[in-house]
Every structure is written in structure tokens, then in C-alpha cells.
Amino acid sequence: MLKVENLTVSYGGIEALKGITIEVPEGSIVTLIGANGAGKSTTLRSIMGLVKVKSGKITYQGEDITGLKTSEIVARGITLVPEGRRVFPNLTVYENLLIGAYLRNNKEQIKKDLAWVYELFPRLKERSWQLAGTLSGGEQQMLAVGRALMSRPKILMMDEPSLGLAPLIVKSIFSIIQQIYNNGVTILLIEQNANAALHIADWGYVLETGKIVLSGTGKELLENEEVKAAYLGKKRQASAI
């Protein structure tokens, strides 16, 4: 469905991505794990057209989308939930959600999707007329996910959805990711919480300093000694989210 081939990205002469190749099959959850600065966010931003690609190719459903405008990529069915949530603080929850549907015209379908988002996140419905800037971190993350879903994505990319959230909220977010997947949305997930991500992933890639160093099923990577030592740790191994 989505292929990234030999992708190289440079910032000021420094290579953030050094020829990585990943694949996201339709109907799967794929995760990228790695330390800060490994190139995970750069990968997603490159796919979305937010970062200029030095070399390599990004194809989606057989079409080369390398270098397309972000709006054109969203229109094709790829959406990003950015790191840090990036909600519009001075707009209401409802207005933020409608912004997610800015490329769509079918008002009836938008209404149905809004009802689905409120079903996934009842708290957003309760706070629909509240300013997004007054929500808690967990509620803002729910809003960022809901806003992305309003574009009707075929692939939902998520950048660190659990970052800075309390463990109970993290558990809720991962449960929601599973529900979104069950509704037919393919997911590409970046997570520092490697344990949680690999438990729900069909396939995973380990990124280190701009290179893919390991790949395998979620289960294989969970059992890999190198991954355990670098990203899981004894305490995390014991309790999956």
C-alpha cells in the first residue's frame, strides 16, 4: 500500500535518513521504534511532504507521491497525527474536528464521521464547545487523533501518541488505535514506548541514526535480545499495555 524506498533526507548537510526502505501493507499496523534523533519523525514528515527528500522514492498504491504537496497527499488518504498534538488552542473541539475535514464536501458523510469520532472519544463530545487549549494533554491527544480521522484516511500515521501522558491515558490511546485499525484503517505508528507499540504491531522496524537496523513481526522484535536490551528493559517486558 505504502512503500518508502532508499529514502535519504538531509538537514544542513547532515543526513537524517540514510537510504531507508520500509513497507506498510494494507490492513496492517506497522511501527517504527528507535531512540530520539533516530529519524522516526523525519520519516513520517517526508511521507507527508513536509520535508524535502534528497533521494529515494515514496509510492502509495502504486503512485509515486514523492514531492507532492501535503494537501495532495492528504487528499489521497494519508494523514498524520503530529508529535505534540498541535491542536488549534483558540478554536473549540468541534471546530478543530471540522478542520480535519477541510478537503471534503459531503456534509452528510462528515456528520456521520463526526458521530463516529464522538463514539470513539465520548469526552470530546462532552467538551465539543470547549476551547482546545483548555483541554488536558490526554484530551488534546484524543482531539488530534479525532481531527486526523475526519479526513477519512486510508493510512493513519501517528507520531508519539503516548508522549507525556499518564499510564492510564496511554492504555486508553492504544485501545483506541486498535479500534481504529479494526475499522479498516491501516496504521503507521512511531512510539518510544516500544513495548506497547510492538504488542499491537503486525510488523516493526528498528531505526538507529537514520538506518533500519532490524525488522520483523511485533512478536519477533519483542523477543529479540538486542531490542530487549536497547528499548524494553526488564520492567517494561513484564507489563504489556
Residue 162 is assigned to a structural domain of this protein: yes
3-state secondary structure 136-181: CHHHHHHHHHHHHHCCCCCEEEEECCCCCCCHHHHHHHHHHHHHHH
Is 237 inside a domain boundary? no
Q: Note the pLDDT of residue 117.
A: 93
H or E element at residue 11 = strand 2-11
Cell numbers standing for residue 232: 524494553
Q: How far is residue 102's CA from residue 217's CA, in Å, rounded to a whole number?
A: 36
pLDDT at 234 over 50: no
Q: What's residue 233's pLDDT?
A: 64
73 domain-assigned? yes
174 assigned to some structural domain:
yes
Question: Is 221 domain-assigned?
Answer: no
Write out the residue range of the structural domain in which residue 88 sits. 2-215
229 within a domain of the structure (yes/no): no
The CATH number linked to 137 is 3.40.50.300
The tally of domains found in the chain comes to 1
Is residue 238 included in any domain, yes or no? no
Mean pLDDT score across all residues of the chain = 88
Residue-wise pLDDT tens digits, 12-36: 778 899 999 999 999 999 999 988 8
* Domain annotation covers residue 121: yes
What is the layout of strands, in order, in the sheet containing 63-64? 14-24, 2-11, 55-60, 63-64
